[in-house]
């Protein structure tokens, strides 16, 4: 089995821009994705979501289904590069392990996530993350 690869937000952005058949999957809850914002071009598939806040038992199948039609080189589990992002890079590690266990071979994690860790005032977005680094994002 392959290993999960961690990338900084800027390295992940560069990787996505320069790697054919690479896909950014935002695994945060629907509320986070819609109201906090999300990377431009990301595909939303929640790892844990409301109302029950339980792990999505169909996560790997949903990822495969979402990218299969877009993967130019055939079998997505073998040929697509799946880059995962969550709030701080922790949930995406769990989701990445699940994808690897399901047979995906190229799984990467945005280690600071979308918002980064909390600062001394318990605020996110000041110490790291996709937004902190000025990468393209949008809000609904």
Q: Where are the domains of the chain?
A: 5-134
Residue 82 pLDDT grade (very low, low, confident, very high; cuts 50, 70, 90): very high
Which of 21-35, 49-63, 65-79, 96-110 bottoms out in mean pLDDT, i.e. has the lowest?
A: 65-79
Can you tell me the mean pLDDT for 51-62? 95
**Residue 21 vs residue 107, higher pLDDT:** 107
Asked if the peptide bond before residue 51 counts as cis, ω within 30 degrees of 0, the response is yes
Evaluate whether the domain defined by 5-134 bears CATH number 3.40.250.10.
yes
Region 58-83 average pLDDT: 88
Please give the model's pTM, rounded to 2 decimal places.
Answer: 0.93
Give residue 117's pLDDT band: very low, low, confident or very high (50, 70, 90). Answer: confident
Mean pLDDT in the chain?
92
DSSP per residue, 19-54: STTEEEEE-S-HHIIIII-EETT-EE--SEETTTTE
Contacts of 19 (CB under 8 A, 6+ apart): 81
């Amino acid at each position: 089995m392959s290993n999960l690869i961690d990338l900084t937000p800027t390295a992940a952005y560069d990787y996505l821009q320069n790697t054919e058949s690479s896909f950014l999957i935002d695994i945060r809850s629907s509320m986070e994705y819609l109201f906090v914002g999300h990377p431009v071009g990301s595909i939303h598939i929640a790892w844990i979501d409301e109302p029950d806040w339980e792990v999505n038992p169909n996560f790997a199948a949903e990822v495969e289904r979402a990218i299969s039609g877009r993967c130019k080189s055939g079998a997505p589990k073998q040929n697509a590069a799946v880059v995962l992002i969550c709030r701080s890079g922790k949930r995406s590690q769990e989701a990445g392990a699940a994808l690897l266990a399901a047979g995906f071979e190229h799984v990467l994690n945005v280690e600071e996530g979308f918002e980064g860790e909390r600062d001394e005032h318990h605020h996110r977005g000041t110490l790291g993350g996709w937004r902190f680094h000025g990468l393209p994002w949008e809000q609904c």
